[in-house]
């Protein structure tokens, strides 16, 4: 195999996620100073920084062979070595190996200090060692209140995860069939939640060997091995528990509960948590939303070279964690109830209840499909509604066909052209001028590997286990032609994710939620006017693509998210 598929790479017959796409240094001056990845990942605290940490923590001693941190431990503290030496080891491949050694003034920990997930490494004292322990609840104040130290620690924990992955780290194992819908759903979940893992294809010898080692049969795939547990035919909720992603929701009253963690939901979460609001985020899959599936976003201010949706989502996620926001996934809301005391109670698919003063709906849209033969049968096994590195491997060095002429379709075409031999972009219109940004359409038309097929529509899709061929029809001549391809990507717009929502929330004719001045007076119960992002239910806000009148752009969603927090403050002030 041996091909490079962007964030996913084949090494030794196994697909690995390349964390360099997700975890990057935050400070530009690190590059100016010609810092190496190792110097970013393994800094030494200065005298003043060490004294600060020592004043916040407690001193502990360890004998050679003692565990400072043990693999699988959740909520582990930040350790800073005062004297001695600690080895970092991992054994996800089945063989224990040393990754690095920490000495005086080094700290122990990576991103799981913030996420609260079980740690993937162990830290073992190699000589008599003294270290300062800073418990997890004190780490966030340390990151926020001491910017210089906080930036250094954030850079280091991200770079450590990158270097760990590049060192041959296996992480969780996903064993399954590449064309399986269940396997594809698990890969999407791992991708959006930034779970280090290795995918083993059961059609490859190594995948068959891994499957036999689990004791599972072909009928029991997919199989996930995480934290020493073997889970056969897993559901996402069980895997989330195994990985420590799902959380038991506190019975406390949250100031803000955000449903959906796309750009709008993440922006609202960062601003709310940074301003001291107790914030909980719920999502069906994981951070990123629709933007998380974008290969590259180039029209978001502050990123002149563009940024992948996964990278943007991860940065927002870490920011929110730094400020103390709580996340849980995968979870869906079954019902929202407004209580007599003006608070909300939410019944979740897990059977838990969550309570909040304000609820923000940032559920986005789901892509529309096409009513063509073969679409439903091959969904997830060659028919896709996103173009990340997970889906891109299906069309490596072959032909990919994209249906749609908007910005999402254009970005997908540019991304896939780096992997596929040929990309055909099929649109019903005669040109791209109506639905696509000018800068992007110019690139599409000049790209040697992208062919624009105008005035054309999809008739059907065929293939046994995956997409093999599509039939297209010229809208002017009605002539039908067959085209070989290995993957079909559909980007034709979407509908709001509001089917589950109570019916008394005002909507426009397409089902998008009406907010602010758009709310009909007949559906508003208070003397005051609705706040800018408030729906027809007081205290229930909507932001991003789910809201009527948005431009369906990432920057707009981020702006909506920040505006939502202003509305939260105004609403809370009006109810006290």
DSSP 438-451: HHHHHHHHH-TTEE
Topology adopted by domain 20-166: Jelly Rolls (2.60.120)
Percent of the chain with pLDDT over 90: 61
Does the fold of domain 383-492 match that of domain 20-166?
A: no
- Torsion angle of the four alpha carbons 388, 390, 391, 395, in this order, in degrees rounded to the nearest 10: 110
pLDDT-derived band of residue 217, with 50, 70 and 90 as boundaries? very high
Sign (positive or negative) of CA dihedral 273, 279, 280, 282: negative
Dist. CA 193–CA 204, nearest whole Å: 26
**According to DSSP H, which parts of 355-446 are helical?**
389-392, 407-416, 438-446
Pairing assessment for the beta strands 67-69 and 58-62 based on DSSP bridges: unpaired
Dist. CA 389–CA 396, nearest whole Å: 10
pLDDT-derived band of residue 366, with 50, 70 and 90 as boundaries? confident
Take residue 533 and report the two structure tokens written for it: 């992002």
Task: Provide the terminal-to-terminal Cα distance of the chain, rounded to the nearest Å.
Answer: 63
pLDDT of residue 34: 57
Q: Please state, as a whole number, how many other Cβ atoms lie within 10 Å of the Cβ of residue 90.
A: 21
* 492 vs 573, more confident: 573
pLDDT of residue 2: 31
Q: Find the largest Cα–Cα distance for the chain.
A: 82
Give the mean model confidence (pLDDT) for residues 256-272: 96
Take residue 173 and report the two structure tokens written for it: 């194992």
In contact, 407 and 374? CB cutoff 8 Å: no
Is the model's pLDDT at 455 over the cut of 90? yes
Is the model's pLDDT at 20 over the cut of 80? no
Give the architecture (CATH level 2) of 253-366+495-574.
Answer: 3-Layer(bba) Sandwich (3.50)
Average confidence score pLDDT of the chain = 88
Is the model's pLDDT at 352 over the cut of 70? yes
Pairing assessment for the beta strands 344-348 and 365-367 based on DSSP bridges: unpaired
Which of 120-129, 410-419, 549-558 comes out lowest in average pLDDT?
549-558
Q: Which helix (H) or strand (E) holds 256?
A: strand 253-259
Residue 507's DSSP bridge partners are: 513
pLDDT of residue 541: 98
Topology adopted by domain 383-492: FAD/NAD(P)-binding domain (3.50.50)
| Closest listed residue to residue 429, CA positions, set 461, 458, 404 | 404
pLDDT of residue 1: 30
**pTM exceeds cut of 0.95:** no
Q: Please state, as a whole number, how many other Cβ atoms lie within 10 Å of the Cβ of residue 525.
A: 7
Radius of gyration of the chain from its Cα atoms, rounded to whole angstroms: 25
Dist. CA 570–CA 354, nearest whole Å: 22
Angle between helix 136-145 and helix 309-322 axes, rounded to 10 deg: 100
pLDDT of residue 379: 86
Write the class of the CATH domain 171-243. alpha beta
Dist. CA 172–CA 93, nearest whole Å: 9
Give the mean model confidence (pLDDT) for residues 163-177: 89
Give the mean model confidence (pLDDT) for residues 25-46: 71
Is the model's pLDDT at 540 over the cut of 60? yes
Q: Is 447 exposed, middle or buried (0-12, 13-18, 19+ CB in 10 A)?
A: middle
Is the model's pLDDT at 358 over the cut of 80? yes
pLDDT of residue 293: 64
Q: Tens digits of per-residue pLDDT, 414-432?
A: 999 998 999 999 999 999 9
DSSP 307: B
pLDDT-derived band of residue 295, with 50, 70 and 90 as boundaries? low
Domain range summary for the chain, segments of one domain joined by +: 20-166, 171-243, 253-366+495-574, 383-492
pLDDT-derived band of residue 342, with 50, 70 and 90 as boundaries? very high
- φ/ψ of 173, rounded to 5, equals -110, 130
Q: Where are the beta strands (DSSP E) in 427-499?
A: 450-453, 456-462, 469-474, 480-484, 487-490, 494-496
Is the model's pLDDT at 353 over the cut of 90? yes
């Amino acid at each position: 195999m041996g091909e490079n598929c962007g964030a996913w790479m084949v090494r030794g017959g196994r697909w690995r996620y390349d964390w360099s796409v997700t975890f990057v240094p935050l400070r530009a001056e690190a590059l100016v100073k010609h810092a190496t990845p190792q110097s970013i990942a393994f800094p030494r605290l200065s005298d003043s920084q060490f004294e600060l940490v020592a004043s916040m923590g407690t001193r502990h001693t360890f004998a050679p062979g003692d565990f400072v941190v043990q693999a699988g431990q959740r909520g582990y503290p930040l350790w800073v070595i005062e004297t001695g030496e600690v080895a970092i080891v991992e054994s996800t491949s089945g063989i224990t190996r040393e990754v690095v050694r920490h000495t005086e003034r080094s700290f122990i920990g990576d991103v799981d200090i913030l996420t609260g997930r079980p740690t993937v490494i162990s830290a073992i004292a190699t000589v008599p060692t003294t270290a300062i322990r800073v418990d997890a609840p004190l780490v966030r104040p340390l990151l926020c209140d001491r910017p210089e130290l906080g930036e250094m620690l954030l850079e280091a924990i991200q770079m450590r995860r990158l270097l760990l992955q590049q060192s041959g780290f296996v992480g969780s194992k996903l064993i399954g069939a590449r064309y399986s819908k269940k396997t594809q759903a698990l890969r999407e979940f791992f991708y959006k939640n930034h779970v280090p893992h290795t995918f083993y294809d059961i059609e490859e010898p190594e995948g068959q060997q891994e499957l036999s080692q689990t004791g599972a049969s072909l009928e029991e795939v997919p199989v996930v091995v995480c934290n020493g547990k073997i889970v056969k035919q897993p559901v996402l909720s069980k895997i989330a528990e195994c990985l420590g992603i799902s959380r038991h929701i506190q019975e406390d009253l949250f100031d803000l509960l955000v449903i959906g963690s796309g750009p709008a939901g993440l922006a609202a979460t960062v601003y709310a948590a940074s301003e001291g609001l107790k914030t909980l985020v719920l999502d069906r899959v994981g951070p990123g939303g629709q933007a998380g599936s974008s290969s590259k976003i180039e029209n978001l201010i502050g990123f002149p070279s563009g940024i992948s949706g996964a990278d943007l989502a991860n940065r927002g996620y870490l920011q929110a964690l730094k400020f103390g926001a709580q996340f849980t996934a995968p979870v869906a809301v079954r019902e929202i109830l407004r209580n007599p005391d003006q608070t909300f109670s939410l019944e979740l698919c897990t059977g838990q209840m969550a309570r909040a003063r304000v609820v923000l709906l940032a559920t986005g849209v789901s892509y529309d499909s096409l009513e063509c033969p073969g679409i439903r049968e091959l969904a997830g096994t060659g028919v896709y509604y996103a173009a990340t590195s997970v889906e891109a491997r299906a069309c490596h060095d072959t032909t990919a066909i994209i249906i749609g002429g908007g910005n999402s379709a254009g970005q997908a075409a540019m991304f896939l052209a780096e992997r596929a031999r040929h990309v055909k972009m099929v649109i019903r219109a005669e040109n791209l001028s109506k639905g696509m940004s000018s800068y992007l359409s110019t690139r599409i038309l000049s790209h040697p590997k992208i062919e624009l097929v105008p005035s054309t529509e999809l008739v059907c899709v065929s293939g046994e286990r995956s997409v093999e061929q599509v039939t297209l029809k010229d809208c002017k001549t009605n002539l039908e032609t067959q085209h070989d391809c290995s993957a079909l990507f559909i980007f034709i717009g979407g509908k709001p994710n509001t089917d589950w929502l109570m019916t008394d929330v005002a909507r426009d004719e397409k089902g998008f939620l009406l907010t602010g001045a758009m709310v009909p007076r007949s559906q508003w119960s208070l003397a005051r006017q609705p706040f800018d992002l408030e729906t027809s239910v007081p205290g229930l806000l909507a932001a991003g693509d789910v809201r009527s009148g948005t431009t369906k752009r990432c920057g707009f969603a981020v702006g909506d998210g920040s505006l939502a927090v202003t509305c939260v403050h105004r609403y809370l002030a009006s109810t006290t």
